[in-house]
Amino acid sequence: MATLHTVNKSPFETQALLSCLGHAKAGDTVLLIEDGVYGAAGGTALTDAVAGLGGAVTLAVLAPDLKARGIDEGRLMDGVKTVDYAGFVELAASHDRTQNWL
């Protein structure tokens, strides 16, 4: 009964990502899209909070949105998965529900 969470806002601008992380359960996936992708970068003021998720929640990022913003995949925190649009669809299909954090 896993949930796919999507976050589309910059974590430096809104609390959406932090709130999402506080509500994600073991087995869930948090997919960062649009301006949400900034939340997956390492070495930021928010990295510790995001890394604190632990291994039970999968963190993923939509690669085309990352690329658009000039954020190299090498900057991502350890353990972050990148997916393309087809991967996004697969995540939506393989989870029981999708919750969008706007």
Partner 1 sequence: MEDGVKKFLYVNRKAPYGTIYALEALEVVLIGAAFDQDVSLAFLDDGVFQLTKGQDTKEIGVKNFSPTFRALGDYEVTKLYVEKESLDERGLTTDDLQEITYEDEDDDWAEKPSIIIVSRSEMADVMAGQDVILSF
Mark the segment that binds partner 1 (CB under 8 A) among 6-14, 21-29, 53-61, 91-99.
Answer: 6-14
Does 71 participate in binding partner 1 (rule CB under 8 A)? Answer: yes
Q: How far is the CB of 1 from partner 1 (least distance, A)?
A: 31
Instruction: Extract long-range pairs of 77-85: CB within 8 Å, 24+ residues apart.
Output: 77/40, 77/41, 77/42, 77/47, 77/50, 77/51, 78/42, 78/51, 79/55, 80/40, 83/31
Does 89 participate in binding partner 1 (rule CB under 8 A)? Answer: no
Q: How many residues bind partner 1 (CB under 8 A)?
A: 24
Q: Which residues bind partner 1 (CB under 8 A)?
A: 8-10, 12-13, 34-35, 38, 41-45, 47, 63-65, 67-72, 75
